[in-house]
Amino acid sequence: MRVEDMIPINDSMPEEQLMAIMILKESFDEKARLEEVKALRDENLPWYADIVNFMVSGEVPSSFDAYKRKKFFKDARHYYWDEPYLYKRGPDSIYRRCIAEEDVQGVLEHCHGSALRRSLCYIQNSN
* Cis amide linkage into residue 84, ω under 30° from 0: yes
Coil, strand or helix: which one is 35? Answer: helix
Cα separation, 83 vs 57, in Å, equals 13
- So where are the chain's domains? 20-98
Cα separation, 61 vs 53, in Å, equals 9
pLDDT at 14: 63
Coil, strand or helix: which one is 29? Answer: coil
| Pair 49, 38: CB distance under 8 Å | no
| Interval 59-87: pLDDT, tens | 888 888 999 999 999 988 899 888 788 89
| Interval 99-121: pLDDT, tens | 888 888 888 887 777 666 555 55
* pTM > 0.85: no
DSSP string, 80-121: EEETTEEEEE-TTS-EEE---HHHHHHHHHHHHHSHHHHHHH
